[in-house]
Structures are given as C-alpha cells and as structure tokens.
Chain A
Amino acid sequence: MLTIDLLNDGRKGCKITGEVDVAVAAPFREALQKAVDSGTEEIYLDLSDMDYIDSTGIGILIDMKKNVMKPGQQFILIHPKRSIAKLFQLTGVDQIFQIAEA
C-alpha cells in the first residue's frame, strides 16, 4: 500500500507513506515526474513513514536524476528509516541526493 500526499509545511514536495515496490512503480514514478515537471529546484520527499523501497523504486529515483531532472533540480530525502538509508548507501543513491534528518 502506497500513499503520496503533498507536503503541507510550506516546502515543495511530497510525503511518501507505505511500501514502494514493483507493484506500485507506476504511481510512484508519476508522482515524482509531476513534482519534477513543476520546475521546483529543491523537491522534498518526506520518507519518514516509508516502510520499504525495492530496487525498482531506487531505479526510478536514479532515473529521475539521470534522465528527467533539469540541472540544478534536486530531491532532498527526508528522514528515511534505517533499513532504507542502508539501501540508499548500498546503491549510491546517497551520492546523488541529499539525505536530511528533518
């Protein structure tokens, strides 16, 4: 189960809740694409309630940076759970996006 809500704290971006795997790859990509299309430079993704992400989801994040985002555009990944932060580290996601605690 995945839900994606717009942030309501004044920052541009969304809160991702639940599990991101191959079953929800399409809505996940669509939400990120929409955020990128808005042209905002710093897009905040609140991951504090994201329980799980698989390599498909990680591939989508990397693909956004590599093939979709304009120069200067950036995801800021907020407070991923420990197991997810570990996966970001393993796959190099932490090298292309800023990971923030809050």
Chain B
Amino acid sequence: MIRLLHTADWQIGKPFGSFDEERGVELRSARFAAVGRIAALAAERGADAVLVAGDAFDDNTVQDRDLNRVLDQMSGFAGPWVFLPGNHDAAITGSVWTRFAALAARRGNGNLFGADEPEPILLLDGRLAVLPAPLSRRHEGADLTSWFDHAETPSGAVRIGLAHGALENRLPEAADAGNPIAEKRAATARLDYLALGDWHGYVEIAERTVYAGTPEPDRYPSNEPGHVAIVEIDGPGEAPRIERVPVAHYTWAARTQRLDGDAGGLEAVLASFADPGRTLLKLTLSGSLPLRERVSLEETVRHWGDRFFHLDIRDDDLFDEPDEDDLDRIDVAGFVRTAIETLRARADNPADPDSEAARVAIRMAYVEHRRLTAQER
C-alpha cells in the first residue's frame, strides 16, 4: 500500500497588499505555517510521499529567505517531496526551482524532487511512478498531460498523475482555462490517482481525480479551501481511498446580507462565527437603512471589526434611506430641514452626479446633529 499526501497551491510569497501591514505579515506567515502542518501531518500519518501539484510559490521571484523558511517548515517530514511547477512558478528559465533545488542541496536536503521535466519519477524503489505535467510557462494552452497515456512505468508501480490546470468540463466556467487537462485523463492514462492543483478549493472532481486546493485559504470564494488529501492505494489498478483533512488556520468567509430598514440582524450574522479572531469576513451589504439604523450599523461594524481578524465591509449597495423620523431627529423646522430635503431629492435622483455624495451628506448631517444634540445635553 502506498500512502500519499496530496497538496497544492501553497502560494508562498503571496503579498496580501490590500490588507494593512500587520495583517499582511500575519497572512504571509500563515502560509509557511501551513507547510509546517502539512509536514507534521505527513509524518503523523506515515505518508510515503508528499505531492505538491503546482503553485507552491506565488511567483518565480520569491525571495531566498522565503525559500529557506519553506525548507524549514518541510523539515518535519523526511520522506520525498515532489514539486510540480505550476502557472505561478512555471519552470521557465530563471525559475524559482533552480534556486530552491540549490538551497535544498546546500542544506543537505536530499528528499526534494523537482518534477520539471515530463518524464516519470520513480520513487519508493519503483513502487511509485509519478507522471508530472510541469508548466514551462504561465499558460501552456495545450494539455500537458497527454503524454501520460503512453508513459511506460514498471508493471508493479502505482501510476500517479501530477498536473496543474483546469480539468475540462468539470470546473465552473470562471476557472482559468489556460492550462486544460482532459476530463478522462485518469482513465486514458490508466492512472491510479490524478493529483491536481490550480483550483483552490478541495474537490474530488472526477474518478480518481482530485483538486487538493490550497491548504491555507487566500481568498474569499467559498469553495472549501484549507485541506489536503491523504490518498491510500493498495496497488496498481486498486481504487484509491481518499480522505480530506483540514489544515487551515484562517477561515475566509464571504457573506451577503440584505438590510431593509433594520440593521439589527447583522449582529447575529457576525456572532455566528465561532472564532472571529481567525476569520476573515467579507460582508457585502445591500438594501437600505434609515439613518439611525445606519449609525447603529456602524457601531456594530466597529465593534466586530476589532474582533474579527479582518472584516471587509462592502456597502456599495447599501443605501441610506432617511425617513421622517430621522429628519425629525435632525430638526423640527428651519433651513436645516430644507437643506436635508434638498439633499434627499438629489440622493434620490439617479441622474444627479452627486446623488451618492448627497446620500453621504445626509448621513453626515444626521451624525453631526446627533453629536451636537448629545453635547447639548
């Protein structure tokens, strides 16, 4: 029996530039930590090898320091690590692989296998044959796995395909189709298992064909990232036993919430997360709120913003809908009311280029008024 740990898309060196510096650093560090957990898991489960199906690195120019950190984290598993160049770290001239291999050699790591040529890699004394389809540029266009069909491997060896790209007809249309992989490749190439990378969510997408996804989520789409696959194969032609194992530290969640007149429901949504300190939540709000609710919403967001690791509120579709009550709170009469009415009219007029500004202005007036009132008391 052969036991493999299949992972992919580590994206080491991903910058996270849209986060503030502190969070960016934490998110970057998390990716190294994920490698450490993978190594520990592989050791714990007695894996025979770790297959990394592409995009271990976010870019070919990733710094040597980062490579060393990866090697540090990998030290927990002494068995073979097979790395496939993906679209982010394609085996182009001057790719990260040359440096990575050199650093590993310098450190005396002999368990690193760069799968940068389309030829079988025989491991475990010939019991395991890995057929890699390395990318030598970002977008190959052609199916690099076609050579698997005719690849000769020792008769007793388990045949494992290792590829990076989009399995045809299986992934959502949104998936990057720059590197297509034939839908039936596992069957046509008589593979016991086809380990795929590129799609960041874990998905057993076809027979004997699995996307392990990224072990540490790096974006919001809810496609179940944060796992690795532990695959057991008893021998050539035997059905693999595939286990999905969570390894993520951070949870990236995206929610949409419609608020109509009342912001109170949001509290429950935010409170539903078990570990907000390890959660990145992208909350898209829509609907409309009276100003007082809007103000209370902001208070809620302020509170939870500090509790979540990161709370990204997208309120472009959430509109202020000041009602009479709001306006009465602003003032009984006088020019203020007239001004607010003017702003309301402009806010409600989609043709007015300042309608958005008018909406915010009303909210400002409201907030300021409340503030002034509070001062008076």
Q: Specify whether A and B are partners.
A: no
